[in-house]
Amino acid sequence: MAALQTPSPFAGTARRFVPRLRYLLLPTTMSLSSSIVSSRSRDGDGEQPLLPHSSLEIAGARRGLLAGFDSLRRPYRAFPVFASNRHVETIFAAFTRSLPTVAFRRECLRTPDDGAVALDWVSSDDRALPGDAPVLILLPGLTGGSQDTYVRHMLLRARSKGWRVVVFNSRGCASSPVTTAKFYSASFTGDLRQVVDHVLSRYPQSNIYAAGWSLGANILVRYLGEETDKCSLSGAVSMCNPFNLVIADEDFHKGFNNIYDRALANSLRAIFKKNFIKF
C-alpha cells in the first residue's frame, strides 16, 4: 500500500473526509470477497438462492452448518440509495455512524521476540460476567483498533448477548506500543496464536471465538488453516476478507479507490512516524 504520488482529481473531496474513512473501509473490499464466497444463477424464473462456491466445501460444512442459516441462501438486496454502491455506503457511514462510548481496560502482552500487542477488555466484564462466559476476540482491519466505530458496535452487540469481548490491537495500532522493528502483516500469525493461547489460559472454562474484518479476517483465516484440527477456537467469522491481497491492492489504485489507498497509507505512515526510531 503506497501513498499517492500524483495529485488526484478527488483531492479536494479527500481532504474533507479521508480522516474519517480509515475505520470504515470495509465495504470497498466486500465486492472482492463476495464473488469468491458465493455464486448466483439466473434463469427464466429470476434469481436463484445463493449457494456457497463448491471450492469452499469443507468436511460437510454446507450440509451440517449452512442449513440453519436461511438468510445466507437468500440473494443480497442492498438498501436503496445508501448501500447500492460501495462508495456511497462508505462515505455515508463515515459521516453518520456514531462512535459508542466504551470503557476499556488495557492489557499489554509481551511476545517472544520482545514485541508487544495490546488487548482491550471491557472494564466491567470481570465483575458482570460469569467465569465461563463465551469470549470473543475481535481482529480489526488494517491499522484499526478498539477506537474504531465498526469494532465498538460489534463489541456492544456481542456484549449485550452476555459475551466477554476483547479487542486484539496489533503492533502499533490503537496506540499499542512498538518495541521492536518487526511489524505485523497478513502472513504473520504468531501474535494471534499467542493471544488465543493467553485468552484461553485466563478463561479455561470458556469457549473462545474470534471475528475479523478485512486484513484481520485474512490473518484469522490463515491462522485457522495453519492450526487445522489443533485450533483452540470454538468458532470464527471472517468478514470482508480480501482473500487475494494482490487483486485487492490493485483495486485500491483504480479511480475513486485512490482515496481509500491514501487514507490507509496515511494511517500506516502515522504509525511508522510515531515509532521511526525503532525502524
Each residue of 105-127: pLDDT tens digit?
A: 999 999 999 999 999 999 988 88
- The whole-number pLDDT of residue 205 equals 96
Determine, yes or no, domain membership for 63.
Answer: no
The CATH number for 128's domain is 3.40.50
Phi, psi angle pair for 66, to nearest 5°: -70, -15
> Could you read off the pLDDT of 209-263 as tens digits, one per residue?
999 999 999 999 999 999 988 999 999 999 989 888 888 888 878 888 888 788 8
Determine, yes or no, domain membership for 224.
Answer: yes
104 pLDDT exceeds 80? yes
Determine, yes or no, domain membership for 101.
Answer: yes
Determine, yes or no, domain membership for 131.
Answer: yes
Q: Element (H or E) spanning 259, and its range?
A: helix 258-274
> How far apart are the C-alpha atoms of 243 and 23, rounded to whole Å?
19
Determine, yes or no, domain membership for 57.
Answer: no
Q: Could you tell me which of 240, 65, 7, 24 has the C-alpha nearest to residue 148?
A: 24
Contact by Cβ (8 Å): 223, 168: no
Determine, yes or no, domain membership for 70.
Answer: no
Determine, yes or no, domain membership for 155.
Answer: yes
Region 75-96 average pLDDT: 72
Region 82-102 average pLDDT: 77
- Residue range of the domain that includes 147: 11-40+75-278
pLDDT band at 63 (very low <50, low <70, confident <90, very high): low
Q: Scanning the structure block, which residue is given the C-alpha cell 455512524?
A: 97
User: How big is the CA angle at 38 (ends 37 and 39), to the nearest 5 degrees?
Assistant: 145
- The whole-number pLDDT of residue 65 equals 67
Domain count, the chain: 1
91 pLDDT exceeds 90? no
Determine, yes or no, domain membership for 29.
Answer: yes
Mean pLDDT value across the chain: 77
AA identity, residue 26: L
45 pLDDT exceeds 70? no
Pairing of strands 208-213, 46-47: unpaired
- The whole-number pLDDT of residue 262 equals 83
